[in-house]
Amino acid sequence: VLAVQSDFISAVLSVRGSWNDILENLQGTYQTESKDKIHGCICRGGNRTRLLFG
């Protein structure tokens, strides 16, 4: 049970880190480079996030 919880927490923290990257990019000027960075962050977030945001 502890191992499962640990994996879940790790996944949540990973997604949360990706969200921070996305928000930082959105705060800057929306350029092609920023768009590519955001897409990269979303891909690292996993299939569920990629499905939501394309």
* pLDDT at position 53: 52
> Do the Cβ atoms of 51 and 44 come closer than 8 Å?
no
Residue 54 has pLDDT above 50, yes or no: no
The model's confidence at residue 40, banded by pLDDT at 50, 70 and 90, is low
Residue 32 has pLDDT above 70, yes or no: no
d(CA 49, CA 15): 8
**Those residues with Cβ within 8 angstroms of residue 44's Cβ, 6 or more apart along the chain or in another chain:** 14, 18
The model's confidence at residue 45, banded by pLDDT at 50, 70 and 90, is low
Task: Work out the average pLDDT over 6-17.
Answer: 77
